[in-house]
């Protein structure tokens, strides 16, 4: 498999899908346009071949697949996770030796330019590029995609999101809680890569301190936050551990 092209496409797709973070009602036409356009940036860097044509066709059809997945709000998180899985499988097959997809002249010149700009010897190794791509993909996964998985798992467990319970929490408080969860996963991911596992405990403790009054006065709320925090931490640990294995 051409991992450089696969990871480049994956990062572009994950970057574009950040538009979905606060789209609980479904993606807008503008969101779908951006999700469709951003991954196309990779095409000029790929050598022209019949594999290039198949890749272009797949990338061009991806926003239409997303549009179909966004119709059902009840199954929104499940469908978003499935569309990403679909994209990973199809892109992986296209980037396999079967389709002979390779980087073009522009890709080589871009890597050479980046090496000249960032390194004294001016030679940017392929391993360095791949490492950067893997870490970037892991970071993007914990920012948005793990939130999608988290919410889907909570729904399977029969736990309704507090954002759907208007008498439980205000919109501002709900959005702030989601932001805290996002930052929590980012820090855990970074600490895993740095082997600073003890620092993860400080993050969880800090979150507990800020929610102390809510925990004391509202047991269902405390249980919901605890379950969400543990799942969020577990997902961030899995992604962080997976990235460490690949590095």
Q: Residue 46 falls within a domain, yes or no?
A: yes
Q: 154 with 165: CB under 8 angstroms?
A: no
Looking at the 3D structure of the chain, how many domains does it have? 2
- Residue 10 sits in the same domain as residue 116: yes
Q: Residue 198 falls within a domain, yes or no?
A: yes
Give the residue carrying structure tokens 């600490």: 191
- Close Cβ partners of 18 (under 8 Å, ≥ 6 residues apart): 140, 143, 144
- Residue 242 sits in the same domain as residue 182: yes
pLDDT, position 86: 93
- Residue 116 sits in the same domain as residue 23: yes
pLDDT, position 55: 93
Question: Average pLDDT, whole number, for the chain?
Answer: 84
pLDDT at 83 over 90: yes
pLDDT, position 6: 93
- Which tens digit of pLDDT belongs to each residue from 46-70? 998 899 999 999 999 998 998 888 8
Q: Which domain holds residue 20?
A: 3-122
pTM: 0.86
- Close Cβ partners of 5 (under 8 Å, ≥ 6 residues apart): 42, 45, 46, 95, 101, 102, 103
pLDDT, position 209: 66
- Which tens digit of pLDDT belongs to each residue from 85-136? 999 999 999 999 888 888 888 888 887 777 767 666 656 666 778 888 999 9
């Amino acid at each position: 498999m051409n991992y450089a092209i696969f990871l480049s496409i994956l990062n572009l797709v994950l970057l574009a899908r950040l538009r979905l973070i606060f789209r609980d009602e479904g993606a807008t036409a503008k969101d779908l346009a951006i999700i469709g356009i951003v991954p196309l940036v990779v095409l000029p860097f790929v050598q022209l071949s019949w594999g290039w044509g198949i890749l272009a066709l797949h990338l061009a059809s991806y926003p239409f697949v997303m549009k179909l997945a966004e119709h059902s709000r009840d199954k929104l998180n499940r469908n978003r996770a499935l569309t990403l899985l679909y994209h990973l499988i199809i892109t992986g097959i296209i980037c396999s030796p079967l389709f002979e997809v390779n980087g073009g002249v522009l890709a080589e010149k871009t890597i050479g330019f980046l090496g000249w700009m960032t390194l004294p010897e001016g030679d940017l190794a392929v391993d360095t590029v791949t490492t950067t791509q893997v870490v970037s993909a892991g970071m993007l996964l914990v920012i948005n995609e793990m939130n999608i998985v988290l919410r889907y798992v909570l729904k399977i467990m029969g736990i309704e999101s507090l954002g759907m319970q208007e008498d439980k929490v205000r919109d501002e408080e709900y959005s702030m809680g989601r932001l805290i969860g996002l930052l929590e996963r980012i820090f855990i991911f970074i600490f895993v890569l740095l082997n600073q596992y003890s620092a993860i405990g400080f993050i969880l403790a800090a979150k507990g301190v800020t929610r102390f009054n809510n925990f004391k006065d509202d047991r269902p709320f405390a249980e919901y936050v605890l379950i969400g925090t543990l799942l969020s931490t577990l997902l961030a640990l899995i992604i962080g551990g997976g990235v460490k294995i690949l590095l």
